[in-house]
Structure 1
C-alpha cells in the first residue's frame, strides 16, 4: 500500500492563504487603524495630564456632590436657618463680611501668607475646615501632635461643643499660648480656637469629618453645626488657583516647566514611530511565496505540518489534503491534465480498473471525513486506489506478466 508523499502532507498544515484576500486586507487595515487610534489617544491623554493644573474643587466644596464634597453640610446649615453664600473670589468674599457672618474655607493653599491675612482681617469669626502645618504656624495656633487612637470628646469648657459627643479626627495639634484646644486630651486636640483682637480663629482637619460620605458618622454633623452655626450667615470661600494671588499667575505645572519645543518633539517622534511601523511592518495584501534562504528537508516540513494538524485536531483539513494529493497523482498516471476535475479523474480510474463509472466519485470528489477514525479508513481507501491504478498501469506496459500469472 502506498503512502502520501511529503509534498501532500505539507499541505495539511494550517495556513492563512485559504482566507479570501479581501477579508485579510480589511482585517489588517482595521488592526493598523486601531493601533494608530490607541497611540494618538495615549499621546493626547499624556499631554492633557501634563498641562493640567491640580484642583481641589471637590474637596469640601459646598456645591460638590461627590464623596469629598460638602453640599450635605451646606444644606444642613440652611435647614437650621443659617444663610450660606458660596464665593469663589476673595474680593467678593471680603465684601460680604460683617459682624453676623462667619468666614468659612478649606486650607487656602492657593493664597500667599499676605493673601490669607488680607482675607481674614475684616472677619470677626473665621473657621478653617481643613488645615496644614504651615497654616497653623501662620496663625500662631500651635504645632502638630501625636493622635490618640480612640474616639475623643470635647474635654473643654466651650458651651457650643457640649452636645457634640465623640468624633474620630484624623489630625491633632498641640495648642500654643492662649489657644484653646478641644476634642482631645494630654496636650493633643483636634480643634484649636484663638481669640485675638476681637476675632475668633478656629482650625480643624475636617476633610474627612465634614465630607458628604462621613458627615453622618459619630458627632461629625453636630461638630460642624457648632463651628458654623454661631452666626446668622456663612460666607463660604472656595480657594482655587484661578483666584490665586501668587503674582497673579497660576502655579507652575509640569506643562509650564517644560520647554516649548518638547510637545512638538513628542508629536514628531510619535509620527515617526507610526511611519516606521507602516514602512517596516507587515505589508497589506495577500501572502507572496518566496524562496527560503535555507534548505529545509521535505521530511521536516512534513512532520512539522503534520504535528500542527494533529494539535489542531483538524481531520477534515488533513483529509482534503490527502484527497487533493491522490487526485493529482492519479491524473498524472492516467495521462490527464493537472486541471482535470474530480469526476474526470474518477471516470478514467474506473475505466482503467474496469469497474462501473460513478463508483469512485465519492472517494475522489465527495465530502471528506471529520473525525480521526474515518480519516484512517479514508486514507487507506485512497492508498488502495492508487495501488490498484499503479498495478493496472504496470500490466498495460508489460502484458507478459499477466500471461505468466495465468
Structure 2
C-alpha cells in the first residue's frame, strides 16, 4: 500500500482499530512450541498404540487369557479331560461352587481377599489350590508355612507322597519356595519338590474344615508360557483335575474387605502428629515474632527515585527482546496522537479519525497517508518499524511547525543595516 492509496479496510468513523499480530504472525512466533507440542502428541499416540498392541488380553492366570501369563491352555486341557471349569466372579460364587463339591483354584494377585473371605472359602472347599500365596493366606490358613524366596533352578526331588507331585516327577526353573516349621509339620503340612535345605515349591496340608489345601509357591506351573516344561502340566492337572468341577477364582476389588482396610491414621507413623503440632507452633511463633511492632507507623520517603526515562527505556528493552514491534508501535502512536491533539487544540473526546483529519489539514498531507502512519500500517520487520517511528516524529514536527511557522525558522542576519 502506498501513501496515496486508501487502506483496504478502514475502521468505522469514531473507532480506533487495535493493531494486534495476525494469526500467521502468532504461529510464526510460536513455531518452536507448536513443534514441541506436536512431537509430544505424536509420542503419546505411539505409546498408546504400542501399549494397546502389547497389552495382555486378560488378567494374569486368567482362565480365558491366551497370553503367556494366562492359563487358557491349562483350562482347555482340563475341559478336554472332562473337568467342568467355571469362572467365579465373586467370593459368593466361589463359596457356592465349593459347597457343591468343586475344587477351587485361588490366585489373589493383589491381596484383595480379606481374612473373612479366606475363612469362608477354606471352610466350604474340600479341595483348595492357592497359587503364589501371600502373607495373609499363609498366616490364616497355614500357620508355620512361610515364604522362602526363589528356587536355585529346576527341581526333581519330589520328597513327598502327594499323588500329583509324584506323577509330575520334576518341575522347571522359575519356582518359588515355602518353608514348613516343626509346628506346621505336626499339624500335617508337608512339602514337595525340595530345593536342598531352602524350602519346597509345593506344600499341602489340612484346611480349616478338614479339606485339602495345596499351596503352590509360584505361578509358573499354571501359565501358558511354562506349562509345557518338565512336569509342570502334570502337577497342575493333578491338583486341579481331582474332581469333576473346578471353580477358577481370581478375586476382584469388589471382594475386598472394606472394614479391614487400613485408615489414614493406621498408615501414618506415630511421629508424624507430634512433628506437625511442633511445626504449627513454630510457624505461629515465627509469624508473631516477625510481625511484631515497636511503635506507631512512621511515613518516610523512599531513598531512591526512578526517573520516568529509565522506566521507558526498560519497557523498550523488553519490547525489543520479545520482538513486540506492534506493541511498541502502538505506544509510539498513542503518544503522538495525544501530543498532536494537544497541539491542534482538539477536545479531549476527539477520536483518532478526527485527529488524523486535523493533522492532514494542518500539514497539507494526504489523509490516507496520515491514517496509514497513525493507525493502519503494521511493520513487518525492525527496519520498517524504525522508519515508521521516524515518520511519526516528522509528522509531529510538521504539525508543530504548522501552528507556529516562525518558531523554528531563525532570523537570518545579513550584517547590513537597512
Which TM class, normalised by the smaller chain length?
Answer: 0.5 to 0.7
Give the structure 2 partner of residue 210 of structure 1.
222
Matched, 1:193 2:204: yes
**Kept in 2: contact 1:153–1:167 (CA 8 A):** no
1:316 aligned to 326, 339, 347, which one? Answer: 326
Unmatched 5+ stretches in structure 1: 1-17, 21-57, 259-293
1:372 aligns with 2:373: no
SS at match of 2:313: helix
Q: Which residue of 2 aligns with 1:344?
A: 357
Deviation at 1:96, TM superposition (A): 1.1
Deviation at 1:404?
5.1
Aligned to 2:99: 95
**Residue pairs, 1:214-293, within 5 angstroms:** 218=229, 220-236=232-248, 251-253=259-261
TM-score, normalising length: structure 1: 0.56
Residue of structure 2 aligned with 1:160, choices 167, 177, 180: 167
Which of 126, 129, 134 does residue 127 from structure 1 map onto?
129
What do the CA deviations read for 1:2-51 (whole angstroms, capped 9, x no partner)? xxxxxxxxxxxxxxxx799xxxxxxxxxxxxxxxxxxxxxxxxxxxxxxx
Task: Say whether residues 1:173 and 2:179 are aligned partners.
Answer: yes
SS in 1 for 2:174: coil
CA distance in 1, matches of 2:152, 2:390: 84
Q: Quote the Cα distance in structure 2 between the aligned partners of 1:319 and 1:306.
A: 11
TM-score w.r.t. length of structure 2 = 0.55
Q: 1:149 aligns with which of 148, 152, 159?
A: 152
> For residues 383 and 251 of structure 2, what CA distance do their matches in structure 1 show?
79
Residue segments in structure 2 that go unaligned for 5+ positions in a row = 1-17, 21-58, 267-301
Q: 1:202 is paired with a residue of what secondary structure?
A: strand
1:118 aligns with 2:130: no
Q: Which moved more, 1:374-383 or 1:164-173?
A: 164-173
| Structure with larger RCO (C-alpha < 8 A, sep 6+) | 1
Q: How far off its partner does 1:76 sit?
A: 3.9
SS at 1:111 equivalent: helix
Shift of 1:209: 5.3
**CA shift in 2, pair 1:397/1:142, >3 Å:** closer
User: 1:83-109, CA deviations, whole angstroms, 9 ceiling, x for partnerless residues?
Assistant: 224553365245312xxx534334764
Alpha-carbon RMSD:
4.8
